[in-house]
Structure 1
């Protein structure tokens, strides 16, 4: 039987000062001022439409977490972020320990507003640092410098937040192993409760895709990861997902809900959502992508609604779940897909025989060997019935 899981909310703010050459997110470089009043009004109406359509009004499923991403959400004033959060809470109740994260650029003006964001309800900031070397930041198209990044982290430390995250990349253009580890050590010195340390990948529809830079080779990338993982572990950080490290107990709850195949409403330009229903249905939603269309009162907010068919659910479940290093309770599979364990019996047995998984009777655990062959492991659950 499908049991609706915890519910989160993703809010997308689509504007940036300029588009980074590696970025394939739905973001748009500013050409004029942000229509923030109109956009916040639209977000509230978008949420109201979803709550009514999917019968989520009335508080039966409170919000577990909110993530305000982009783009650069910290271009929106604290007053308008506060209005948004107040209007959201008026329509759907917050859990008592809700995590509310907002992404921010380390630019001086925005960083100085961290305390104001905290005062209107944001309790976790995610700072897009990427590197602490100015020449690398320039190459990545970032508008801040290394000094601003350090200042932003210190201001986040002082802002009475529950937690904050530093986003850091490795595998940058012409980056040596020493360069990558220098960045990591600089981030650790700022003592963030959470570090997202992820490898730069070249995605279609980006400037780097059309004009590829020279990236470290696979051997260097592996050395960077091995040495970096050891440095993080020695500094007291625990890896809990592929690119997520935190101090004990300070994992990102919003991301955990994604990877545990939880539910989330998505509002804003191009935002994605996933909703499960007690009748066994699971749908995914995608909102209108471009700000012009999203803010056009004659157009619907919803662009696509996709039914997640039963034969697709094993792959979708494990594609998310195996990002996490924690064991996966078998009951989670049953409750969150609505499928019996027999539906994946063949794939699980194959993975056990290959030493990709272990099984203690109650949980599956991906092995160190399985992490190296994750694509093969996931392929075992493609449209298996």
Structure 2
């Protein structure tokens, strides 16, 4: 992989349909979070919004951007004013837009904020509930409590939002099966359109890492995942990706682009993008990010993808989807037969009942979902 820096120059004909926008502000850093964020101040937020709009302008000079989806992630996007959100969205041609998602933190969801949201084209909400047990929320460094999750959800429902996703984290230190199921049952009672289940992953540079030795054994976490999966499916959700469940027709269109080899642009500090044969990541530092925009630079950290890199990424991202990888699409993209190239590995996992072939698709069986990363490594 080659790293390079390139400067904006001339128009290109690459069409981009998927947009991610990173809002880097938080009131407080969560104890489990490794994503880039800064302490919120009004002055810094206003400066960021102006630079973000300039960044969008730089990309529009180089690419044809006609979004099908826009996703506001963070950080805490709900620390923006509704007028900021509207201003950012208005930079894009929305003629083809299908989905605009805003991540919200329950602590920031006020009646005034929710009442103003319909002034924007936002049509999907993703809320980081994470748990309905207050002691777990405290452990995670979350500022909200379980009551505020339910209140925020009802506020959004009453304002007419009909596409709401809730996140739940499992595999916490000292967590028991009944703890996770308690939170999951509260989510099912609220009846959102979408649920994401994330297994806690701790990196060395975050506060909660000191509790790593208290995390349940993999076998216990696997049992927790299997039971949550079963309960969601029996409650009317369809699993469409290893960590994601939706009511019919409410799959995240934006997140599907990541698992389906679609090009996307990332705006804001630490945001990542993917175009043709390279990926890029913006600086994970606001001041450095401001400097790159000042000098009209994009792709500050660019990594070229070889055909082999692309092939490996296509395999493991496609296999995250429950419908699996399209063998015909693989053949067209890489001019080779997947079943022939990886015959030994495929035979091994077919025999173990971790892979199955259905028509033109090869996919993981549900028994393989929790150990999927181990299987993906066999194709790397």
Whether 2:47 is the aligned partner of 1:38: answer yes
Q: 1:82 aligns with which of 80, 83, 86?
A: 86
Whether 2:24 is the aligned partner of 1:14: answer yes
Q: Which residue of structure 2 lines up, in the alignment, with residue 193 of structure 1?
A: 193
Q: Which residue of structure 1 lines up, in the alignment, with residue 225 of structure 2?
A: 225
Q: Secondary structure at the match of 2:34?
A: coil
Q: Which residue of structure 1 lines up, in the alignment, with residue 327 of structure 2?
A: 330
Query: In structure 2, how many angstroms separate the alpha carbons of the residues matched to 1:50 and 1:348?
Result: 42
Query: In structure 1, how many angstroms separate the alpha carbons of the residues matched to 2:221 and 2:363?
Result: 26
- What is the CA-CA distance between 1:126 and the residue it aligns to? 0.7
Q: Deviations over 1:365-385 (max 9, x none)?
A: 223455465345323432xxx
Unmatched 5+ stretches in structure 1? 277-281
Q: Secondary structure at the match of 2:102?
A: strand
Q: 1:284 aligns with which of 279, 287, 295?
A: 279
Indicate if the aligned counterparts of 1:321 and 1:328 stay in contact, CA closer than 8 A: yes
Indicate if the aligned counterparts of 1:104 and 1:110 stay in contact, CA closer than 8 A: no
Are residues 99 and 367 of structure 1, via their aligned partners in 2, closer, same or farther at CA, if it must alter by over 3 Å?
same
Are residues 325 and 84 of structure 1, via their aligned partners in 2, closer, same or farther at CA, if it must alter by over 3 Å?
same
Q: 1:350 aligns with which of 328, 345, 349?
A: 345
Q: Which residue of structure 2 lines up, in the alignment, with residue 340 of structure 1?
A: 335
- What is the CA-CA distance between 1:219 and the residue it aligns to? 3.2
Query: In structure 2, how many angstroms separate the alpha carbons of the residues matched to 1:79 and 1:124?
Result: 17
Query: In structure 1, how many angstroms separate the alpha carbons of the residues matched to 2:326 and 2:202?
Result: 34
Q: Which residue of structure 2 lines up, in the alignment, with residue 304 of structure 1?
A: 301
Whether 2:169 is the aligned partner of 1:169: answer yes
- What is the CA-CA distance between 1:110 and the residue it aligns to? 4.2
Q: State the aligned residue count.
A: 362
Query: In structure 1, how many angstroms separate the alpha carbons of the residues matched to 2:343 and 2:57?
Result: 41
Q: Which residue of structure 2 lines up, in the alignment, with residue 319 of structure 1?
A: 316
Indicate if the aligned counterparts of 1:43 and 1:267 stay in contact, CA closer than 8 A: yes
Q: Secondary structure at the match of 1:113?
A: helix
Indicate if the aligned counterparts of 1:352 and 1:358 stay in contact, CA closer than 8 A: no
Whether 2:122 is the aligned partner of 1:113: answer no
Query: In structure 2, how many angstroms separate the alpha carbons of the residues matched to 1:101 and 1:140?
Result: 24
Name the Cα RMSD after superposition.
2.3
- What is the CA-CA distance between 1:79 and the residue it aligns to? 0.5
Q: Which residue of structure 2 lines up, in the alignment, with residue 95 of structure 1?
A: 96
Query: In structure 2, how many angstroms separate the alpha carbons of the residues matched to 1:197 and 1:190?
Result: 16
Are residues 346 and 194 of structure 1, via their aligned partners in 2, closer, same or farther at CA, if it must alter by over 3 Å?
same
Query: In structure 1, how many angstroms separate the alpha carbons of the residues matched to 2:320 and 2:113?
Result: 33
Q: Secondary structure at the match of 2:42?
A: coil
Indicate if the aligned counterparts of 1:167 and 1:197 stay in contact, CA closer than 8 A: yes
User: More deviation in 165-174 or 153-162?
Assistant: 153-162
Query: In structure 2, how many angstroms separate the alpha carbons of the residues matched to 1:305 and 1:326?
Result: 31
Query: In structure 2, how many angstroms separate the alpha carbons of the residues matched to 1:301 and 1:289?
Result: 14
Indicate if the aligned counterparts of 2:127 and 2:167 stay in contact, CA closer than 8 A: yes
- What is the CA-CA distance between 1:122 and the residue it aligns to? 0.8
- What is the CA-CA distance between 1:111 and the residue it aligns to? 6.2
TM-score normalized by structure 2? 0.88
Q: Deviations over 1:118-147 (max 9, x none)?
A: 321111111111111111111111111111
Q: Secondary structure at the match of 2:334?
A: coil
Query: In structure 2, how many angstroms separate the alpha carbons of the residues matched to 1:344 and 1:231?
Result: 34
Are residues 249 and 286 of structure 1, via their aligned partners in 2, closer, same or farther at CA, if it must alter by over 3 Å?
same
After superposition, residues 228-239 of structure 1 pair within 5 angstroms as: 228-239=228-239
- What is the CA-CA distance between 1:317 and the residue it aligns to? 0.6
